[in-house]
């Protein structure tokens, strides 16, 4: 399910109240305060990925408060994951104060009162990703799941970097996933967050969770290296300290083999570029090379097999304005 809240079409005098009411109903009962309500602007796009609700938010400076009154009104027992993209802020919960900045992940809970202050960057912009995750879905031991103060993690390395990158990818492409994919993608968010919290507290996670997190690492590695023609099962396995045989075993439960998945991803990126009017002047062979295809004839055959037409015909169809007619 997709939900969009945008103040652009609302009269300026009514924008903040409109935002405050809708955000509180969409997320959780909250009190939202602005020092300049007359100048307020905001946009939030939310998508359900199974049990995980993911939102991409941009707005003017605000303070958000969740009090005991709000908690008594409704508490679905959620962990809230905040990833700032522009601007900075702080979370105060359980007498602890943690700063939010670029490349950080802050996790706090819905069952303890909190305050969140966000401030724009030099251009006055606030942008961020916000995920809400049911506590019960994480299968964490009680000392972790009952914690009443926030966590802050680096998004520059390890599982934190993997989670930050994955949330960013989901938020940026939320409208491109099919309904059958969203639950599986949400499950990956649950696994990554479970691993992140468990490691911070020295807690073991299940072998199944470790394996799914390894798959997420492998998927992220493939996405990063997709344009490298040399990308191969051998390189992927070596980068993750596993054997090629073990890598192929991991993909047994997937829709594609390793090589087939790489090829499908490359073709999909080429397809998107060919339909992108801003790249209309880029030759087809250059589009193919950008995504790791070094043989133009091989690329054309693979593209025709996947999409039923040549790359040139696909581009003409989608840039002519008659696609889908």
Q: Whole-angstrom Cα distance, residue 10 to residue 16? A: 9
Please check the confidence at residue 121 and state whether its pLDDT lies above 80: no
Plot region of 202 (φ>0 → left; ψ -120 to 50 → alpha; else → beta)? left
Please check the confidence at residue 150 and state whether its pLDDT lies above 60: yes
Residue 87 vs residues 10, 91, 123, 264: alpha-carbon distances, Å: 25, 14, 9, 37
pLDDT top residue among 122 and 220: 220
Q: Whole-structure pTM over 0.85, yes or no?
A: no
Confidence of residue 193 (pLDDT cuts 50, 70, 90): very high
Q: Work out the number of other CB atoms within 10 angstroms of the CB of residue 9.
A: 7
Per the CATH hierarchy, to which homologous superfamily does domain 2-224 belong? Answer: Jelly Rolls (2.60.120.10)
pLDDT at position 116: 94
pLDDT at position 324: 45
Contact 273, 281 (CB under 8 A): no
Average pLDDT, the chain: 89
Taking residues 109-123, report their average pLDDT: 88
Confidence of residue 115 (pLDDT cuts 50, 70, 90): very high
Residues of the chain above pLDDT 70, percent: 97
pLDDT digits (tens, 9 = 90+) for 34-79: 888 888 999 999 999 999 999 999 998 889 999 999 999 999 999 9
pLDDT digits (tens, 9 = 90+) for 275-284: 999 999 999 9
pLDDT at position 205: 72
Kindly report the backbone phi and psi dihedral angles of residue 310, in degrees, each rounded to the nearest multiple of 5, phi listed first. -70, 160
């Amino acid at each position: 399910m997709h939900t969009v809240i945008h103040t652009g079409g609302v009269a300026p005098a009514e924008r903040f109240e409109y935002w405050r009411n809708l955000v509180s109903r969409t997320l959780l009962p909250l009190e939202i305060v602005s020092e300049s309500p007359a100048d307020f602007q905001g946009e939030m796009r939310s998508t359900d990925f199974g049990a995980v609700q993911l939102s991409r938010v941009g707005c003017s400076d605000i303070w958000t408060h969740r009090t005991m009154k709000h908690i008594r009104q409704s508490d679905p027992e959620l962990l809230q994951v905040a990833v700032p993209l522009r601007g900075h802020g702080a979370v105060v919960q359980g007498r602890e104060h943690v700063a939010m900045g670029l490349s950080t992940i802050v996790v706090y809970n819905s069952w303890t009162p909190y305050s969140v202050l966000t401030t724009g960057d030099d251009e006055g912009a606030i942008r961020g990703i916000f995920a809400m995750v049911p506590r019960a879905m994480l299968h964490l031991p009680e000392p972790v799941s009952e914690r009443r103060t926030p966590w802050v993690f680096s998004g520059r390395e390890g599982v934190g970097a993997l989670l930050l990158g994955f949330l960013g990818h989901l938020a940026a492409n939320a409208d491109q996933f099919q309904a059958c994919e969203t639950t599986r993608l949400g499950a990956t968010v649950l696994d990554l967050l479970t691993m992140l919290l468990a490691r911070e507290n020295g807690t073991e996670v299940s072998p199944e969770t470790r394996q799914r997190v390894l798959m997420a690492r492998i998927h992220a590695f493939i996405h990063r290296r997709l344009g490298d023609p040399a990308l191969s099962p051998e390189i992927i396995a070596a980068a993750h300290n596993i054997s090629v045989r073990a890598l192929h075993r991991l993909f047994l439960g997937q829709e594609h083999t390793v090589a087939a998945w790489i090829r499908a991803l490359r073709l999909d990126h080429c397809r998107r570029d060919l339909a992108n009017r801003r790249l209309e002047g880029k030759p087809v062979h250059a589009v193919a090379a950008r995504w790791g295809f070094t043989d133009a004839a091989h690329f054309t055959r693979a593209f025709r097999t996947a999409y039923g037409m040549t790359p040139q015909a696909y581009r003409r169809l989608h840039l002519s304005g008659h696609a889908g007619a």
